[in-house]
Amino acid sequence: MDLESLRREYLHGGLRREELIDDPLDQFSLWMQQALDLEIYDPTAMTIATVNEEGQPSQRIVLLKHFDQDGFIFYTNYGSRKSNELDSNSKVSLHFPWHVIDRQVKICGTASKISPVESLKYFLSRPKESQIAAVASHQSEVLTSRSSLLDKFESIKQKFKDGDIPLPDYWGGYRIVPHEIEFWQGGANRLHDRFRYLRHENNWLIDRLAP
């Protein structure tokens, strides 16, 4: 397996300071819309990195479900590993890997739970099978077998076949309030364009970073 010789050029175009929007949330919105318009695979998929009390980082992929000037929202089981780590250390990093258009976005910020009302609104918008899965799975816990999970899924499905599924108290959303956002655009000869937005009081400072 020869990995050292694997390489390609990044030729989708550069990024210049004069092209950037002063507000990084507006810049992110522009890039997300472009990713959606291009129909790239899973544009809302983002890696989220958390750190436990021993300082051990952990990463996983979740889906971005909403963003605005208040931050970035995703949903999960509040008993999961990521939630337990966020309880002890609310600092978090997000990463969007849009490889097909030679772009990346990295976000550093602080996570906090959204209100139950907000979580319920999204929960009710999900397909019923997804609602059942949220109830059936105690995320990150050890399973004796896959069949035990499927049995629990079917049991809950039958229990609520004629009624609404209540929002579990162990499931809901987090909002990531960013203090740093970096936009990365691949460039020829590994001379990539990187711009970092840093929050300073009520404004954002923008710096070009070396690739």
Please identify every residue annotated as catalytic. 190
Q: How far apart are CA 204 and CA 83, in angstroms?
A: 29
Q: Both tokens of residue 134?
A: 């949220």
Contact between 47 and 97 under an 8 Å Cβ cutoff? The reply is yes
The Cα-based distances of 72 to 79, 108, 178, 192 in angstroms read 20, 11, 8, 26
C-beta pairs of 154-162 under 8 Å, 24+ apart in sequence: 156/132, 157/129, 157/132, 160/132
Question: For residues 152 and 190, what is the distance between their CA atoms, to the nearest angstrom?
Answer: 50
